[in-house]
Structure 1
Amino acid sequence: MLSYEDLEAQVIDTGECTVCGACILACLGSHVKLIEGKPRRTKRSTDCVGCSTCYEACYMLRHDLIRAIEGRTIGWGKKGSIGLHRRIVEARTRDVEIRKACQDGGIVTTLLLYALDGGIIDGALVVGRDGWSPVARIATTRDEILRASRTKYGSVPVLKELRAAVVDCGLSKICVVGSPCHIQSIRYLRHKGLPLASSVRLTVGLFCRENYEYTCLAEQLAAKGVDINQVHKLDVSDSFNICVGETEVSLPITEVKSCVPRHCLVCEDFAAELADVAVGSGSSRGWSTVIIRTQDGEKVFAGMEERALIETREIGDIAGLHEMASRKKDKGKETKEIFKLKEVGLETNVIAARLGISERRVSHRLEGI
């Protein structure tokens, strides 16, 4: 029987682990814990003998099921680079307090507050922060939801909080907000029939070009004379942008490539293709791009429109969105090939020649954590 040792060897120690928190959540004896940023079991317990629960909870070992899960939750059809969807719009909140607190259009925060006030959900799993260090949180009040606003960077085991949300807080209608990896993971757990996962009623996915490990990022900024604790906003476009007060500092993406976790480099999901609603930066400052994928997502979004909580407008051209998503898919596939060739002992120049790309590109991919 496959066990924690196999999970550790195949996923955690290889850098494939997305730190979604599913294995920590699934372990009934709480033997798997977050230690130094990774799920670890400090010692083998008698509970672990003949147990494969943590191994079975890992969606990274079940990529062959993703298409079937997508068919059951989103639907079947010809899929483009941003996934199947019912509607795509740009939107922003009408709430002044939310606008001041949030990253772009404040749509995720507005959606959570609307769903909470309307009894659609009774709480949410979100990413809060300690300074700028991201931390998984359970949010059940307006204040807690507002405090979780803005983009943070770092691998966060959001799903590990699901047990506490259900068992300790008594929640039964939960929204999970997370990166594409969190959404894939919770969809897999629901597909698998993990009892705790049945309490998740809604998923909101965040667009993700790539993630950056917090400690590495803080060190990179410090080297540029920027104290991350003084930062007001972090944002990634074609460059890495840091706002400190009224000053904005932009770094070339190549300068923070060493902070990208290995699992991000092989990821092909930019637009959270399995989420009920996916949200990311809009083409205009102060607006969010919103992709509605499911009937549940459509119902919640329509409710916000009916109550005039948000402004919406159609997006005339989504070519840029498709381009970003396609670029991530191509990058993920290419990086998998780079890793495979490196594992068989090929040098950087040979890999570059074999794939028809520059040595510099190969080096950047191999620098990932």
Structure 2
Amino acid sequence: MASNQADELPNIQQYASDVHGSLQHTPRPRQSDLDAFEARLDQTVQELRERVREQQRALEELRKSHASTAHFRSEDPKTQLHQLRVLKDAYDGLTSLEPDIPAPASVLPPLLAARITQQVINETKNAIQDSRKQLANTKRQLECEQGNLRDANSITKSLESRIEQLQVEDNETSTWSPSQLAQEMLTATIKRKDTYDLETDRLRANLESFTNDHLASMVAAEELGGPIVGDLLEIDGDMLAAGFSLQGKPKPLKPGKSVEDKRQRRLDDIWGMGSGTDGALSSEREAAAHEVQSLLQSLYAARIGQTTSGEYVVLERDSAAARFLVRAKVAQLHPKDARRLRLIDFGRELE
């Protein structure tokens, strides 16, 4: 007990010094108040030191009076009993003592109260920060839930509107004869087919325009040993005419008859001179565009069942156009035959 008080004494002094330092930031009190506070603090420290010395003296006396029995455990049962009784008397004496309470004029209670108050303030600040974080998370969650509620309300209104529309149509057609219903269904089917045909033609025109303007040059470059489709976006006719190195870099263009002859032989070997719509291919870009469009048309025809070979198209060679369609997840190869290609059924998941 005495050693614990001796250990706490420097802590009390340090805390008193900290409190005294914090008072420097507050409005400066009167000199008389400071002198009184210092005097009370010195008095409290002296009281604590005196109590520590008293406890140390009592401890030394207790050790001297029981030196023969307090430092070892005897093997004699009677001696052990005597030792236990001595320990019991010592504990009983300590238990019956009144606890040491500071004097009314001591500054120790205010210091302890200030320390506890500061601890509560720090804990309150930490709790406020945690509450702010929880509040921010709750606000984000609330915004997300409000968005989901708006979506759910919008879907509900759309469904209710559709149900009302179907009910009106059902009431209108309930008095129709079977022939009238059949005619109405036939008319609606023809209108939907015409709409789909127009939309298909528009999409096909957009695809052809995109292929001719952008995709054909990149497919031709990959076919000639250059970068794969998408790695180099700006490819002109001179780069295709000059060709590419083994590292996929564009070669410098050297105009001349030998270059044109080499280019024509390359067109004939890769794409074939007679495969164009006008009987010949005039450039690598045109040849690649024709190959991409022909492959897409063949895949589409096989998908809708207009061919006798099933849904797969047999590839004559491993072309850059076929590789691009596979990478773009537009088509897929047969799991057992890499020469057969088919269009991916995009509507299967919706069905």
**TM-score (normalised: structure 1):** 0.18
Larger relative contact order (C-alpha < 8 A, sep ≥ 6)? 1
More strand by share: 1
**TM-score (normalised: structure 2):** 0.19
More helix by share: 2
